[in-house]
Copies of this chain bind each other. A is one copy, B any other.
Amino acid sequence: MEQLSLVSSNKIFGGYQKVYSHQSSELKCKMNFSVYLPPQAEGGDVKLPVVFYLSGLTCSEQNFITKSGFQRYAADHGIIVVGPDTSPRGVKIPGDDDSWDFGVAAGFYVDATKEPWSTNYRMASYVNKELYELVQQAFNNVVDPDRIGIMGHSMGGHGALISTLRNPGLYKSVSAFAPICNPIQGPWGAKALGGYLGDDKSKWVEWDATELVKKYDGPPLTLLIDQGSIDQFYVDKQLLPENLVEACRSVGVPVILKLREGYDHSYYHIASYIGEHFDFHAKILKA
């Protein structure tokens, strides 16, 4: 694994939570990503499913691995979990640090086409090509390339949805916590898509989960969406899961919307239901 540097390795639930850094060719900067290797990976004589996890605004690869408690469930099911960072780091584009919802830690998992972002802000290609392939190469003794799923939170929940819908078959299972579901209709999404793609809204729909699902014609897919009922961003109509559900129903794509009474937008919501999501992914990936 000459292209990877080990940043940290901690034993948890019998497996190892690792963080690596590498030089990304898509993003043209050094990036961290996390890999959880469950106990079943030891010995390297069995191929395991992989689930990618995409984080939300302001996060790095650290939030999920320290706050969600997912490792217990990944260890139970024998699933490898990979978590990229949320944007290029250290590329110092003017304005990249001016707001918490655009630029650094807010890559939105799209490939920017507008200058000055288009050189580095290629998170879609980074996740779905570069890191996807890197993980298969670096961990080829334990990764089953035919059983890869994806999940995420908020901006990363949308990232999981569009990564799946734009690349039919690449991810066999997909779920999301409090995802932005219809970004062209919300303030966060409009700011990000306008900033990264320019003013032509006909380009935005290519990166909008609700629009993409209407045209989806890949392998059968069930979407699992988990939403806290008192999440302020849900109340403020940044997330709009109902729009995604309506679009899914209009084209016959199965969707499960779990509305969780009293839960908010935090990792406390994720921790409470991440076990159910691992059950969901395991049922599909280990079928």
A residues neighboring B (CB under 8 Å) = 10-14, 17, 66-67, 69, 71-72, 228, 262-264, 266-269, 271-272
- Counted per complex, copies of this chain come to 2
CA distance A10 to B264 in the complex (A): 7
- Which B residues are CB-close (under 8 A) to A72? 69, 271
Q: What is the distance, in angstroms, from A120's C-beta to the closest C-beta of chain B?
A: 31
CA distance A271 to B13 in the complex (A): 8
The answer to whether A269 touches B11, judged by C-beta atoms less than 8 angstroms apart, is: yes
- Which B residues are CB-close (under 8 A) to A272? 11-14, 71
- Which B residues are CB-close (under 8 A) to A13? 271-272
CA distance A264 to B17 in the complex (A): 12
- Which B residues are CB-close (under 8 A) to A11? 228, 262-264, 268-269, 272
The answer to whether B12 touches A271, judged by C-beta atoms less than 8 angstroms apart, is: yes
Q: What is the distance, in angstroms, from A203's C-beta to the closest C-beta of chain B?
A: 38
11 A-B pairs, CB-CB below 8 angstroms? Answer: A10-B269, A11-B264, A11-B272, A12-B269, A12-B272, A66-B66, A66-B67, A67-B67, A69-B69, A71-B268, A71-B271
The answer to whether A12 touches B268, judged by C-beta atoms less than 8 angstroms apart, is: yes
Question: Closest B-chain residue to A270, C-beta based?
Answer: B12
Q: What is the distance, in angstroms, from A8's C-beta to the closest C-beta of chain B?
A: 9
The 5 nearest A-B residue pairs measured at CB: A69-B69, A12-B268, A10-B268, A11-B262, A11-B263
CA distance A266 to B19 in the complex (A): 15
CA distance A10 to B14 in the complex (A): 29
Question: Closest B-chain residue to A263, C-beta based?
Answer: B11
Q: What is the distance, in angstroms, from A157's C-beta to the closest C-beta of chain B?
A: 19
- Which B residues are CB-close (under 8 A) to A69? 69, 72, 271
CA distance A58 to B267 in the complex (A): 22
The answer to whether B14 touches A267, judged by C-beta atoms less than 8 angstroms apart, is: no
